[in-house]
Amino acid sequence: MSWYQRLSARWDDSSRIALTNGDLTVTYGDLTERVHRACGLLQQAGLEPGDVVAIQLPRSIEILDLVLGATALGMPVVPMNDRYTDAEVSYQLADSFAKLAFLSDGTAPELPPGCRVVRASALPRALADAPARKPTGTVPDDATAIIGYTSGTTGRPKGALITHANLTAIVSGLHGAWRWSREDRLLHALPLFHIHGLFVAQFGALWANARTDWVGRFDAVDTLRAIDRLGSTLFMGVPTFYQRFIELPDALRFDLSRVRLFTCGSAPLPAHVLDGFERRFGHRVLERYGMTEVGIVLSNPYEGARRAGAVGLPLPGVEATLADPVTDAPTADGDVGELRIGGPTVFRGYLNNPEKTAGSFDANGRVRTGDLATRDADGYFRIVGRLRDLVIAGGLNVYPSEVEAVLLDHPDVAEVACVGVIDVDLGERLVADVVWKPGATLAMEALDAWARQRLAPYKTPRAWRTVSSLPRNAMGKVDKTLIRAEWEMPRVRGGLAADVSAIARGNLALALESEGLRLEAETAFEGARAVFDRNVGARYFVAEVAGAYAGQCMVTTEWSDWRARQIWWLQSVYVHPAYRKRGVFKALYKAVVDGARTSGASGVRLYVDRSNTRAIDVYRRQQMNGDHYMLFETMFAEPEKAVDR
């Protein structure tokens, strides 16, 4: 049965209000009519079950009409961020073989063959003119309902295939766990292109026969005023929302007494924000954990302790375990392991990508989430970081989130992000970006001392920076890729120690180029070659070309065997975005291969990724899910046994 059939079968009173958006009020009867018109429009366009419909529209009720209409007809939907660039839209349209794209007026992507476009400005008319067609025919439960391109802050987006059965499992599970009822009034401030705003919030409300009031793009004051004015009972947010709420001047007062539940997810909710919100507004936020590929799977309890820093317990039907990311062995309670998820909410795989699909499941058929977590003795899970954010400083594991939590406890710190950057001696070293609270006068030395009193020496940041804000994506996740790139750039610009001067010369040339100074491509390749010439005696090379933001090319050498966890970062080379062309990669590859050959290396792989994925990722994901783009590979011979320096 299609997701929509199950959903609409629950709508027992067409006069009930389903949605409001400013002056617009839509009853469940109106919504049914709107969905039928969307079905008419899709059918008139000649689409058939299985044809992919892409939606990249500003937040509007038409998104809902189209998502429900398309899924009712068995047409998978690709929901897209309306702030995507043309290149991002082009990629997702091509990757999903979209047949029909509903696009914002300003977007001008390349269209795959046979893909037609309906513009946002023409859509209301097109829907109004379309015949209302009640969807008929059956859609299998395991058919794809949504292709959710993962919003991760590293790697090229992959299309996660979310089935009709997954949607039912996600929404019905939360319905019980969070005690949804038809009396609920949800205040909706989240984007509709992501599972949080679309499935958890919007579909949750529709499943309950409840009412949703939309507010425009998030604004802290407008949102709380709307909750007060509309008598909302439910609100769902990302941590940034709650952070903004607690920053509001005390003089502002809101009546939030009718709210029965505030939830938070998509990124970690700092304990001081949870506590601060409770102190100020009298509500303890319920934090939960989810991921496009697995749905919402862990939640603090509705009744019972909502623990700061914890994402709670598995929802009914969800299997959640912790395992060693490399060996797959189960992790003991209290130890850090990779969170693995099984159960009815788990996606079917990645579109057109059996290799990545296979890599994303472990031997027990559970999804490798890439999130590192611990479990308290009574079963509560705590996310301690991303596998890819793990910093290995001098061979010791440092979890940036643990350090961030300590720094956030400082009364003058508003926000903080710790990342690992390349370090010639340690491999990696931890650095911190700090946003001070307004009026804070603290010197960085004092924060450093605070950290040293509370953290083992190897966990304390080696360098600090004051910043005015942290870069975040639409779901409030901090973009550590960008922070890392910003930290590493000046190092290269500033030159390097004498023992790596050969590398520095090449890097410096490229850094100049990345600042807009003209340099011949050949000079850039010489830089890459210099890196490899320097590394005589290395057994194995990984060259990684990356950088959505910085246009970064990272060349890394591994000194030990693939299975050892030691990766030595020798240097990174920055390439101007203009070099991100195939011909350039080829030439770079050639330089790398030549360098490797002369140094007696056993092989070369060149990875190209859209963002600044580091070699540690390449190494780990090599073992886990092959989440990279390997353009070229040359193996001279199998890598020999580990050679430690």
Angle value at C-alpha 108, between 103 and 110, nearest 5 degrees = 105
548: which strand partners? none
479 vs 513 by CB, closer to ligand AMP:
479
274 vs 542 by CB, closer to ligand AMP:
274
The two three-digit tokens of residue 146, written as one number = 């949504």
CB of 162 to ligand AMP, least distance (A): 11
Residue 431 to residue 186: CA distance in whole angstroms: 40
**Lookup result for tokens 């330089």:** 591
68 vs 198 by CB, closer to ligand AMP:
198
| Contacts with 154 (C-beta within 8 Å, 6 or more apart), sequence order | 388, 481, 609, 611, 612, 613, 617
Residue from 392, 450, 382, 387 nearest 416 by CA = 450
294 vs 531 by CB, closer to ligand AMP:
294
CB of 73 to ligand AMP, least distance (A): 26
Residue 503 φ/ψ, nearest 5 degrees: -70, -45
Which own/partner contact pairs does 80-87 have at CB distance under 8 Å and 24+ positions apart?
Answer: 80/54, 80/55, 80/56, 80/149, 80/193, 81/56, 81/151, 81/191, 81/193, 81/194, 81/474, 82/56, 82/57, 82/58, 82/193, 83/474, 84/56, 86/110
| 3-class secondary structure, 330 | strand
CB of 590 to ligand AMP, least distance (A): 37
185 vs 188 by CB, closer to ligand AMP:
188
Residue 83 CB neighbour total at 10 angstroms: 14
CA end-to-end span of the chain: 60
With CB atoms as reference, the residue minimizing the distance to ligand AMP is: 292
Q: Percentage helix, strand, coil, to 5, in the chain?
A: 35, 25, 40
Residue burial 308-327, b: 16+ Cβ < 10 Å; e: rest:
bbbbbbbbeebebbbbebee
CB of 472 to ligand AMP, least distance (A): 12
CB of 510 to ligand AMP, least distance (A): 32
CB of 350 to ligand AMP, least distance (A): 13
Helices assigned H by DSSP within 361-472: 400-408, 444-454
478 vs 591 by CB, closer to ligand AMP:
478
268 vs 325 by CB, closer to ligand AMP:
268
Q: Are 431 and 401 in contact (CB under 8 A)?
A: no
CB of 195 to ligand AMP, least distance (A): 6
> Residue 501, CB half-sphere, CA atoms under 13 Å: how many?
2
| Contacts with 305 (C-beta within 8 Å, 6 or more apart), sequence order | none
96 vs 369 by CB, closer to ligand AMP:
369
Helix (H) or strand (E) run with residue 509 in it: helix 501-514
CB of 313 to ligand AMP, least distance (A): 13
82 vs 287 by CB, closer to ligand AMP:
287
186 vs 383 by CB, closer to ligand AMP:
383
Using CB under 6 A, list all residues that contact ligand AMP.
Answer: 150-151, 195, 265-268, 287, 289-292, 311, 369, 371, 383, 386, 475
CB of 239 to ligand AMP, least distance (A): 8
Residue from 34, 24, 28, 30 nearest 7 by CA = 28
2 vs 202 by CB, closer to ligand AMP:
202
CB of 371 to ligand AMP, least distance (A): 5
CB of 460 to ligand AMP, least distance (A): 23
The two three-digit tokens of residue 156, written as one number = 């090229």
CB of 390 to ligand AMP, least distance (A): 13
371 vs 513 by CB, closer to ligand AMP:
371
